[in-house]
């Protein structure tokens, strides 16, 4: 029942995303036909293009045509790239996924050990340093941090390239910039979660019985702190998708962020439409997987959400 409910909610989110992009494209000033045709096109040519795109029909008919096209896998045609819009999105997606994966890896490798140590040794020098990291990571804008990284590590030291996406070196600075906020949030959540669990009575009882520390953490601590940390990771992925737009522009990465800016500037609505649907689908699937893992790790979630 829990799985069915989550599937229905996921479908509802996708439907809302489809309606949002359908309405948004039609609220933008100007006709897509005027953008696709050469400057100075005649009214007859614009009318013919509107008929070809189905824009001469009523809104309910356009919505039905929109949904039927999506059901066939037709996300529209990009006048900028001269091919299917979804093909353009899929071509750029690997760059963005590499950026997000790198940022997620950096965030996990830094925040989990830092948060755990801060919880186990509260008030220590590293704990106080982690609080400063949390404040800085949540306060500094991603684009500003990216520019600082370029100035120091690319221009002054010459260790890493300033832009492009040809090798793994091109992803180091963008991933670090994108990971700053997630490191701060994940460190704070990890610290708070561990401190709450370590203060529980059953932990005190387990320690009084002489349970080894490593076994205490494996049996009682990690299973109870994993669900909230997992949920935060799901939220962070959504942030990274949005942050990738700015990060890719700053570092010149040819991913979905740069594509989105280009498509919006050139009013290539088919690409914008395909990108929104593609990203929304990925986010819905990811959140569904995280919810299922959360429910598996914490059975109370299943009973609470029924």
pLDDT of residue 170: 84
Exposure string of 17-29, with b = 16+ CB inside 10 Å and e = fewer, is bbeebbeebeeee
Of 235, 266, 267, 281, which is closest to residue 93 (Cα–Cα)?
Answer: 281
Q: Using 50, 70 and 90 to split pLDDT, how confident is the model at 90? A: very high
Tokens of 246: 């700015």
Give the residue-averaged pLDDT of 98-121: 88
pLDDT of residue 213: 76
Percent above pLDDT 90 for the chain: 3
More confident residue, 56 or 141: 141
With 80 as the cut, is the pLDDT of residue 112 above it? yes
Lowest mean pLDDT among 10-14, 215-219, 246-250, 285-289: 215-219
pLDDT of residue 303: 56
- Count CA within 13 A, CB hemisphere, residue 264: 11
Cα dihedral value 57, 58, 60, 64, nearest 10: 0
Please write the tens of the pLDDT for every residue from 30-82.
666 666 666 666 777 777 777 776 666 777 887 888 888 888 888 888 877 88
How many residues in total does the chain contain?
306
DSSP 121-190: STTSHHHHHHHHHHHHHHHS-HHHHHHHHIIIIIIIS--S-SS--SSTHHHHHHHHHHHHHHHHHHHHHH
pLDDT of residue 249: 85
With 80 as the cut, is the pLDDT of residue 295 above it? no
Instruction: Give me the chain's average pLDDT, please.
Output: 81
Lowest mean pLDDT among 121-130, 279-288, 295-304: 295-304
Q: Yes or no: say if 178 and 99 are a contact pair by the CB < 8 Å rule.
A: yes
pLDDT of residue 260: 85
Percent above pLDDT 70 for the chain: 89
Give the residue-averaged pLDDT of 204-223: 78
More confident residue, 193 or 28: 193
pLDDT of residue 29: 67
Alpha-carbon separation of residue 248 from 81, 166, 179, 252, 262 (angstroms) = 20, 14, 13, 5, 12
With 60 as the cut, is the pLDDT of residue 304 above it? no
Q: Which of 45-59, 91-105, 234-248, 262-276 has the highest mean pLDDT?
A: 91-105
Spell out the domains of the chain, with CATH numbers in brackets.
12-85 (no CATH), 90-304 (1.10.3720.10)
Please write the tens of the pLDDT for every residue from 230-252.
888 777 887 888 888 888 888 88
- According to DSSP H, which parts of the chain are helical? 2-27, 32-36, 43-53, 59-71, 85-120, 125-139, 142-149, 169-198, 201-208, 213-216, 222-251, 256-265, 269-297, 299-304
Q: Is 140 left (phi over 0), alpha (psi -120 to 50) or beta?
A: beta
* Dihedral pair phi/psi, residue 57, rounded to 5°: -90, 170
Lowest mean pLDDT among 142-146, 208-212, 274-278: 208-212
286's CB contacts (< 8 A; 6+ apart) are 234, 237
pLDDT of residue 139: 80
d(CA 13, CA 281): 9
Our CA angle for 24, 25, 27, nearest 5°, is 65
- pTM of the entire predicted model: 0.80
């Amino acid at each position: 029942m829990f799985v069915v409910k989550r599937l229905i909610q996921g479908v509802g989110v996708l439907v809302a995303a489809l309606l949002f992009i359908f309405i948004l494209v039609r609220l933008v000033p100007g006709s897509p036909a005027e953008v696709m045709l050469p400057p100075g096109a005649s009214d007859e040519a614009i009318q013919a293009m509107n008929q070809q795109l189905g824009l001469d029909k009523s809104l309910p008919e356009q919505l039905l045509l929109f949904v039927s096209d999506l059901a066939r896998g037709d996300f529209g045609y990009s006048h900028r790239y001269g091919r299917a819009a979804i093909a353009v999105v899929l071509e750029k997606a690997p760059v963005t996924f590499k950026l997000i994966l790198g940022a997620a890896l950096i965030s996990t490798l830094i925040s989990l050990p830092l948060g755990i140590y801060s919880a186990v040794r509260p008030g220590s020098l590293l704990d106080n340093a982690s609080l400063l990291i949390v404040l800085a990571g949540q306060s500094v804008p991603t684009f500003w941090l990216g520019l600082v990284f370029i100035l120091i590590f690319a221009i002054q030291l010459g260790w890493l390239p300033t832009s492009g996406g040809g090798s793994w070196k091109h992803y180091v600075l963008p991933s670090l910039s994108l990971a700053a906020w997630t490191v701060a949030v994940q460190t704070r959540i990890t610290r708070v979660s561990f401190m709450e669990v370590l203060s529980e009575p059953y932990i005190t009882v387990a320690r009084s019985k002489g349970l080894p520390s490593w076994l205490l953490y494996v049996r009682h601590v990690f299973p109870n702190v994993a669900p909230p940390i997992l949920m935060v990771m799901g939220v962070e992925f959504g942030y990274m998708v949005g942050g990738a737009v700015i990060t890719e522009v700053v570092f010149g990465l040819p991913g979905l962020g740069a594509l989105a800016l280009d498509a919006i500037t050139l009013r290539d609505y088919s690409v914008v439409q395909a990108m929104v649907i593609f990203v929304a689908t990925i986010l819905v699937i990811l959140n569904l997987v995280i919810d299922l893992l959360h429910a598996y790790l914490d059975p109370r979630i299943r009973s609470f959400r029924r």
